A = this chain, B = another copy of it.
Amino acid sequence: MNEQLQLGNIRDVLSRLEETILYALIERAQFHCNPTVYEPGRFGPAVGGLCLMDYLLRETEIIHARMRRYTSPDEHPFFQGLPEPILPRMAVAENPLIPNTINLNERIRSAYVANVIPRICAGGDDGQYGSSSVADVACLQAISKRIHYGKFVAESKYRSAPARFRSAAAAGDRDRLVNLITDPAVEEAVLRRVDLKARAYGRDGADEKARYNIDPAVAVVLFRDWIIPANKEVQVLYIRERVAKDSGT
C-alpha cells in the first residue's frame, strides 16, 4: 500500500501535527485577543478591505502557492485565485487520494476566531496586531492540515474494507459511516497525548512552573470538541465521494 496510507504513518503525521498546533497556539497565547485584527475593513483599502489577519493569510498563501504548497494533497488554501507555482512539481508526489474538492477552511477560520482565540488569549487589546496575525496564520495552517488529513485516514480505512463503507454510504446512513470511521480508543489516546504535550511544552523548563501557557484542559477540549470531530467530518465527506466514484456515479 502507498506509504502515505499506512495507518502507522498517518498516526505519526497526526501526532506530529498536534505538536505543531500546540507550539502555534502557545505562540498566539502570548498576545491578547486583539479583536481589531479580525475586523474587516478596519485597516482600510491598503489591506484590500479584509481584516488584518485575512490580509496576512492571503499574502502568505500567495507566496506559498508560488512555492507549490497547494499542489500537495495534504495542503488546503483558505483563499481562491492563488498564483501558479514557480517551482517545478515534485517528482515523487504520487497522490493516493481520489480527486476531491473537500475544503472546510472557511468553517475552520470562523471557529478559530470565535472559539479558540477567546479561550487561549487574555481579553482586550495589546496593540500587537502584526505578531498576533503572524501567530494566527501559523495556527490556522497547522489546524487546517490536521483536520484535512482525515482524507488520508478515510482513504486508508476505505481500502481496508470497501464493501462495508459502500453499503453504509449507499444506504445514506451517516451514523453507520461515522461508526465505521470511529475508534474511541484512538481518540482517547490522542486526547491523552495532547494533554501530556500541552503540559510539557507550556512549562518553563527551569522551574517547572507553567508560564505563557495555554491551559492543557483547553487544549484537550479544542481537540475533543472541534479538531477531532472536524477531522471525522472530512472523513465522512471523503468516503461519500469515494464511494460515488467507485460506483461510477
Contact = CB atoms under 8 A, between A and B. Distances in A.
Interface of A: 12, 15-16, 19-20, 23, 26-27, 30, 43, 46-47, 52, 56, 59-60, 63-64, 66-69, 86-87, 90-92, 127, 129-130, 133-134, 138, 189, 192-197, 199-201, 203-206, 211-212
A30 B16 contact: yes
A142 to B, nearest CB: 10
Given A67-B130, A68-B130, A43 B87 contact: yes
A204 B22 CA distance: 13
A134 B68 CA distance: 12
B206 A87 contact: no
Contacts of A200: 200-201, 203, 205
A63 B68 contact: no
- In the A-B complex, the 9 residue pairs with the smallest Cβ-Cβ separation, listed nearest first, are A196-B205, A46-B86, A197-B205, A67-B130, A23-B23, A193-B206, A200-B200, A59-B63, A90-B127
B212 A130 contact: no
20 contacts: A12-B211, A15-B204, A16-B211, A19-B26, A19-B212, A20-B27, A43-B86, A43-B87, A52-B67, A59-B63, A60-B63, A63-B63, A64-B130, A64-B134, A67-B130, A91-B127, A92-B127, A189-B206, A193-B206, A200-B203
Nearest to A198: B205
Stoichiometry (number of copies): 2
Nearest to A30: B16
Contact of A206 (B66, B68, B192): B192
Contacts of A206: 15, 189, 192-193, 196
A23 B60 CA distance: 20
B16 A212 contact: yes
